[in-house]
Amino acid sequence: MATPDASTSPVEIDRSRRGIFWMLLTMFFFVSMDTIAKYLIQNHHVFQIVWGRYFFHFMVLVVVLAPRLRSLLVTQNLKLQLARSLLLLTTTCSFFTGLQYVHLADASAIMLTAPIFVTALSMPILKEHVGPRRWASVAVGCVGALIIIRPGNGLLQPAALFPLTAAILYAFYQVSTRFLSHSDSILTTLIYSASIGALIMTASVPFFWQPLSIEEWGWMFMLGVMGGMGHFTLIKAYTVSPLATVAPFTYSNLLWAVGYGYLIFGNLPDLWTVVGATVIIASGLYIFHREQIRKAR
């Protein structure tokens, strides 16, 4: 993690602090969204919850971006935009399905492997050089995931495969986002992600619809708002501060997940989950450290 030194100007320090604040807020919004989803999934089909997440997210964007909506739909790479949107949608479906059976902290810890999978995909897809140290860190991160999942003992299998699949899909999503950043604006990519998900789930949800109470409609609305706010604050974090400053703070999502898991659902991660999450975080931070060294060179 980048830290200010004596030569760092007050303006740069202020930008770093603001970036860290926005990233911490991002993780709060995303884990809040996951918590609401886990609560609603107890009584409703996962597709109905995914619909709420995308439909209300899209509605918020329509209201906020209405004057610019038509121009933002112009893309230089429509096929990749559609593919990326489908990746995010399937990631959400996989992760929300896993939340039906896996504790919030366990699912969040497994999702921490996504940056590790991004590193593994960097060489075949992005044509980046991945040295032996980073490959070793990828292997260590996968071991951390296995510690949490504990295959063969029947505690989390096969339910833990859902958040693990979500992490892999999310890695492909992040790689596709890197490609799109060279051709389309962030807002264009954001509106496609929300609109494609809303369109597909609106066509699918009638087959799985269950009546909602007024309170549940309110939670469904908050689900979309939390998702939209999370994406907005994520953009703010990467806008005001360098990636090297804010990226390590994505791991704060585990703190929110543990807190929500205990306060809302009355469960805490066991020792093996804590050990596995620690291994994954250490591996991810080392990979990030090596990437900064490579970029500096």
Query: Can you give the residue range of the structural domain that contains 121?
Result: 13-296
From CA 7, how far away is CA 274, in angstroms rounded?
38
From CA 269, how far away is CA 265, in angstroms rounded?
12
What's the chain's length in residues? 297
The pLDDT score that the predictor gives to residue 6 is 47
Report residue 224 as tokens.
């979309």
Report residue 262 as tokens.
């205990």
pLDDT of the chain, 297 residues: tens digit per residue:
444 444 456 666 667 788 888 888 988 999 999 999 999 999 999 999 999 999 999 998 888 888 888 888 888 888 988 999 999 999 999 999 999 988 898 888 888 888 778 777 767 766 666 677 777 877 887 788 878 776 655 555 678 889 989 999 988 887 887 777 777 887 888 889 899 999 999 999 999 999 999 999 999 999 999 998 888 888 788 777 766 667 778 888 888 999 999 999 888 888 888 888 888 888 878 777 766 676 666
The pLDDT score that the predictor gives to residue 1 is 46
The pLDDT score that the predictor gives to residue 242 is 67
Do 56 and 118 meet the contact criterion of CB atoms below 8 Å apart? no
Residue 3 DSSP SS3:
coil
Residue 4 lies in a domain: no
Residue 288 lies in a domain: yes
Do 123 and 130 meet the contact criterion of CB atoms below 8 Å apart? yes
From CA 186, how far away is CA 180, in angstroms rounded?
9
Report residue 170 as tokens.
């999310």
Do 211 and 72 meet the contact criterion of CB atoms below 8 Å apart? no
Residue 220 lies in a domain: yes
The pLDDT score that the predictor gives to residue 156 is 54
Q: Other C-beta atoms within 10 Å of 57: how many?
A: 26
How many domains would you assign to the chain? 1
Residue 6 lies in a domain: no
Determine the residue type at 117: F
Nearest to 68 by CA among 231, 187, 239, 198: 187
The pLDDT score that the predictor gives to residue 295 is 63
Report residue 29 as tokens.
């919004």
Quote the DSSP letter at residue 45. Answer: -
Report residue 198 as tokens.
């809303």
From CA 46, how far away is CA 53, in angstroms rounded?
11
To which residue do tokens 């140290």 refer?
A: 133
Percent of the chain that is helix, strand, coil (3-state, to 5): 80, 0, 20
Nearest to 250 by CA among 223, 219, 220, 287: 287
Residue 3 lies in a domain: no
The pLDDT score that the predictor gives to residue 2 is 47
Alpha carbon distances (Å) from 132 to 143, 148, 289, 292, 293: 17, 25, 14, 15, 14
Residue 187 lies in a domain: yes
Q: Other C-beta atoms within 10 Å of 217: how many?
A: 12
pTM for the full predicted model? 0.84
